């Protein structure tokens, strides 16, 4: 009996010792992290900031403001993921939206999904909110320009799979909603070299 109990305890100790332990460290969200080499939040933030900064320095902005005497109104359209990996493009578009809003040079309106929620709320107010606080219908701010684009990637892999090069290209276009004129085109390229240490294919 004692031998059986001792054996059981030793097995439990051995199993516990073999279990991996995780260490979690909180870091600044702005810290650059590249664990897998895949597209990540750092790429989304840096690309958005660089491209939006470029867009806001091009002639279309001053020309529109001069002609209309008001800042342009923008809406973030669809950025298609045409790469070979899963990329949450909403993270990227939200980074662009943040960069535009924080610039103070343009106004940004809600996208189609967000507008649906807001319109439902406004419709409810017509029946249930007080007269003084009810928001009027058909008073939305129409967008002057829409930002659209895509993310592509090319993967080049060594024969022995020990080294991987991933090339990302982000293409953005700012289009006049009324005339379909493209007033700005931006492109950003990222290339990552991934070396698989101790890789055995």
In a domain, 2, yes or no: no
Residue with more model confidence, 78 or 14: 78
In a domain, 14, yes or no: no
Q: Is pLDDT at 4 greater than 60 in this prediction?
A: yes
> What pLDDT, in 10s, does the model give residues 128-165?
999 999 999 999 999 999 999 999 999 998 867 788 89
CB-count burial class (<10 Å; 0-12, 13-18, 19+) for 91 = middle
In a domain, 17, yes or no: no
Model confidence at 121, pLDDT cuts 50, 70, 90, reads very high
- Residue 102: domain span: 37-195
Q: What CA–CA distances, in Å, run from 90 to 22, 47, 87?
A: 30, 14, 9
CATH number of the structural domain spanning residue 92: 3.40.50.10610
Measured CA to CA, the distance from residue 117 to residue 54 in angstroms comes to 32
In a domain, 26, yes or no: no
* Domains contained in the chain, number: 1
> What pLDDT, in 10s, does the model give residues 10-54?
666 665 555 567 787 777 777 777 777 889 999 999 999 999 999
CB atoms closer than 10 angstroms to residue 37: 14
> What pLDDT, in 10s, does the model give residues 97-119?
999 999 999 999 999 999 999 99
């Amino acid at each position: 009996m004692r031998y059986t109990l001792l054996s059981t305890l030793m097995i439990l100790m051995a199993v516990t010792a073999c279990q991996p332990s995780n260490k979690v460290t909180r870091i600044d969200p702005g810290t650059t992290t590249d664990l897998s080499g895949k597209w990540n939040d750092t790429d989304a933030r840096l690309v958005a900031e660089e491209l939006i900064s470029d867009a806001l320095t091009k002639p279309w902005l001053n020309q529109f403001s001069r002609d209309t005497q008001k800042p342009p109104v923008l809406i973030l359209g669809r950025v298609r993921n045409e790469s070979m990996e899963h990329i949450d493009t909403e993270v990227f578009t939200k980074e662009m939206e943040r960069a535009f809003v924080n610039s103070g040079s343009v106004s940004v309106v809600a996208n189609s999904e967000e507008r649906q929620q807001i319109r439902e709320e406004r419709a409810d107010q017509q029946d249930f909110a007080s007269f003084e606080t009810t928001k009027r219908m058909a008073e939305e701010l129409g967008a002057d320009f829409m930002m659209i684009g895509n993310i592509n990637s090319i993967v080049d892999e060594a024969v022995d799979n020990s080294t991987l090069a991933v090339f990302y290209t982000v293409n953005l276009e700012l289009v006049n909603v009324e005339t379909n004129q493209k007033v700005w085109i931006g492109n950003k390229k990222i290339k990552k070299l991934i070396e698989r240490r101790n890789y055995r294919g």
